[in-house]
Structure 1
């Protein structure tokens, strides 16, 4: 009987088990980062069922939506109604992205406990995405983060373009660390380091994480967010885990993509991540079969197959 028939990965003793964490938190971004990239707006009822199914699979962190202006991201224009109608499962966190103070106001009105801001490590990207310079972005985020923290919310800071920028090329490690430190100093509780265009490699990942450690930042405050453009997302994740990272972003079924990289294949698929974690003996709390079924269902709603290798292998 092969692995596909059993539905379980083959467990091989890890050569350096002491270097791996016992458990990992999966930060599921499919409902926000994944669906915001869809060409057509996904119906609210589908989003709500998607979140319900994800929670039922055992995922404990579900990034639900974003309070951005509807004309910027029409796919998430229903954020307020979604949170109003969402069945919030006890023990599950439902973070939302807030771009500014107005977004934070809406999040507070909706009763959320976790928010995130979306910064970048390069001048070019902040100019195009925020219409602000690299330093100017902090002027916008500072009052948002400080108020959210004062109100008792957990605040995540996304840092995009941590490994490469389509306009600037490779991004200096010290520049990424500087941006991350400023977000932590203003009150972010966690940083998510994003390989936005999917160009990172394991050696680069290790070097960046070592630089954060050398700057006095505990790896428990860091998460990683990889795209699979060059097929490196799982290898990069393994490198991050061996470095001491315990939170990994991923998207059910590999939903999402990057408009700044040609042929970008989207976020690391949660199913692929879970398969690898199972093979490494790392706890995560997710029912893989239920998650695969959820991604197959969502693929049907979107009218195309999932790019996840594990979904394809176990979903037939």
Structure 2
């Protein structure tokens, strides 16, 4: 990389010294594509991301193919993927049948996908807010008994397109129930991208006050209104050390039409490099990977850093 295209490093005392990037590009990034990406491309994408130094790579989803046809090849993908020692390849699991498939595939880490709001729970899960916990409880219990780690996604934490504002205490209550159920980590999602830094502070404070330690919290920001990086910085200042991101800014949410792309991994890495926060990823390799994937998708990457450095 041209040394003139490196951020000046100015460390901040109020930030973690190191964070984990939870890469979601291969799952959350590709599930929203209008066409199905060939499994060979997905496998190479994951391999390239691993080569770039990322250690947590959400690989796919065991959601029914009727609902997410772009990830119908989950079993085939995991058979073909050379899962590397020391790397983590979580998969999304919606129910008992999905857990059966994950266990058969030899997965060691799963995620469930809950909602902070009544309307989204009904639209996404066909359950009420309370009923979703009854659906997840046996999945989490059995997964833990099988020795799997379990992550809980909470969507609509910063606003819902049908209900509007979502109270931080409501997010905290949902998150606490998932932790009590056995989820080792909560990823708080700004599914429609309406959050701002003060709002992030309020939601994180509510979760911690509600009994979920900050070291069990992760953040998952969408960049609909250009707030993903500023919101991430606010979360880091609160002590969060796991940040979800998607290579090249791929993704959205198939169940929320106003949701645009995820925080781009490259944009996150540029900011972290400038702040002196360690993350383990190689920016050159990430840019090359996202440029490669953009060519296969037939459109430029939405990541500002990929556009600046990949040309």
From 243, 246, 250, the counterpart of 1:251:
246
* 8 A contact 1:271–1:311 mirrored in 2: yes
CA offset digits 1:207-261 (Å, max 9, x no partner): 1111112122211100000000000000000000000000000000000023524
From 289, 293, 296, the counterpart of 2:291:
296
Query: Structure 1-normalised TM-score?
Result: 0.96
Report SS of the residue matched to 1:210: helix
From 190, 193, 211, the counterpart of 2:188:
193
Distance 2:257 2:10 in 1: 35
CA offset digits 1:125-172 (Å, max 9, x no partner): 010011110000001000000110111100000000001000000001
Report SS of the residue matched to 1:94: coil
Q: Does 1:140 align with 2:135?
A: yes
Q: Could you tell me which residue of structure 1 aligns to residue 5 of structure 2?
A: 7
Report SS of the residue matched to 2:244: strand
Structure 2 stretches lacking a partner, 5+ long? none
* 8 A contact 1:4–1:314 mirrored in 2: no
Distance 2:141 2:195 in 1: 31
CA offset digits 1:39-83 (Å, max 9, x no partner): 000000000000000000000000000001111111000000100
Q: Does 1:312 align with 2:296?
A: no
Distance 1:179 1:252 in 2: 29
Report SS of the residue matched to 1:36: coil
From 72, 97, 118, the counterpart of 1:123:
118
* 8 A contact 1:225–1:248 mirrored in 2: yes
RMSD: 1.1
Counterparts of residues 163-178 of structure 1 (less than 5 Å):
163-178=158-173
Report SS of the residue matched to 1:117: strand
Query: Structure 2-normalised TM-score?
Result: 0.98
Distance 1:118 1:20 in 2: 28
Shift of 1:5: 5.0
Report SS of the residue matched to 1:184: helix
Distance 1:13 1:23 in 2: 12
Distance 2:278 2:11 in 1: 15
Report SS of the residue matched to 1:50: helix
Flag as ranges the 4+ runs of structure 1 deviating above 6 A: none
* 8 A contact 2:245–2:264 mirrored in 1: yes
Structure 1 stretches lacking a partner, 5+ long? none
Distance 1:80 1:251 in 2: 22
Q: Could you tell me which residue of structure 2 aligns to residue 213 of structure 1?
A: 208
* 8 A contact 2:23–2:57 mirrored in 1: yes
CA offset digits 1:243-295 (Å, max 9, x no partner): 00000000000000235243x43000000000000011000000000000000
